[in-house]
């Protein structure tokens, strides 16, 4: 998919679908959640442009623990080798001036500080789906290893929405 040129001037043809079913209250600073969602959405738009493309934003309750917010796009997807590095600071495939490579790394750090997690489900040609897992009772911590391992252990890293 061509990137960079054409992004700034053109209009992307993107269909956005919302399915917001989460009913629980989760505790997170509004600005923190906004920052995370904006980054995921900007990434999704970049992935699908110039389109036609599709972005789905979903939320649902997750067990008794919290909620899952999922941003799925119909872009080119992310190959396995890159998925391991995608949350690293300064990892970017965008042209100079178009991306710092900090968006996902900062987002991941923010959510982990609330005891939650961001996970990725993607394969080439099948788009990308980022899930944000948020807890009703966040375990505020600087400890980077809080809930992430637990989430993975119980399979929360897998995208359960289709």
Give the footprint of ligand ATP on this chain (CB under 6 A). Answer: 39, 43-44, 47, 73, 75, 78, 86, 91-94, 99-105, 128
Task: In angstroms, give the least distance from the CB of 65 to ligand ATP.
Answer: 25
> Which of the listed partners (Mg ion, ligand ATP, none) does 73 bind, with a CB threshold of 5 to 8 Å by partner kind?
ligand ATP
CB nearer to ligand ATP: give 73 or 121: 73
- Phi/psi-derived region of residue 91, left when phi > 0, alpha when psi is between -120 and 50, beta in every other case: beta
- Which of 7-15, 52-60, 99-107, 115-123 is the region at the interface with Mg ion (rule: CB under 5 A)? 99-107
Question: Cα-flanking dihedrals φ and ψ of residue 61, to 5°?
Answer: -70, 145
Residue 39 and residue 87 in contact, taking contact as beta carbons nearer than 8 Å: no
Residues 6+ away with beta carbon under 8 Å from 156: 62, 68, 117, 119, 131, 133
> Which of the listed partners (ligand ATP, Mg ion, none) does 70 bind, with a CB threshold of 5 to 8 Å by partner kind?
none
107 sits near Mg ion (criterion: CB under 5 A): no
Residue carrying the six token digits 């252990």: 153
Q: Compute the distance between CA of residue 122 and CA of residue 98 in angstroms, rounded to an integer.
A: 23
Task: In angstroms, give the least distance from the CB of 108 to Mg ion.
Answer: 12
CB nearer to ligand ATP: give 99 or 135: 99
Q: Compute the distance between CA of residue 161 and CA of residue 20 in angstroms, rounded to an integer.
A: 12
CB nearer to Mg ion: give 47 or 58: 47
- Phi/psi-derived region of residue 55, left when phi > 0, alpha when psi is between -120 and 50, beta in every other case: beta
Question: Which residue of 66, 103, 127, 138 would you call a contact of Mg ion, by CB under 5 A?
Answer: 103
Question: Which residue of 28, 36, 43, 147 would you call a contact of Mg ion, by CB under 5 A?
Answer: 43
What residues line the site for Mg ion (CB under 5 A)?
39, 43, 103
């Amino acid at each position: 998919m061509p990137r960079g040129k054409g992004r700034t001037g053109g209009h992307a043809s993107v269909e956005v679908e919302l399915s917001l079913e989460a009913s629980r209250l989760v505790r997170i600073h509004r600005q923190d959640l906004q920052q995370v969602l904006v980054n995921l959405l900007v990434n999704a738009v970049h992935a699908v442009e110039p389109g036609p493309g599709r972005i789905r934003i979903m939320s649902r309750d997750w067990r008794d623990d919290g909620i899952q917010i999922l941003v799925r796009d119909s872009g080119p997807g992310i190959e396995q080798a890159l998925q391991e590095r995608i949350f690293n600071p300064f990892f970017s495939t965008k042209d100079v001036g178009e991306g710092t490579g900090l968006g996902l790394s900062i987002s991941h750090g923010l959510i982990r500080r609330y005891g939650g997690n961001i996970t990725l489900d993607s394969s080439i040609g099948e788009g990308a789906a980022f899930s944000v897992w948020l807890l009703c009772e966040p375990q505020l911590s600087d400890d980077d290893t809080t809930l992430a391992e637990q989430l993975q252990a119980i399979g929360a890293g897998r995208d359960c929405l289709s």
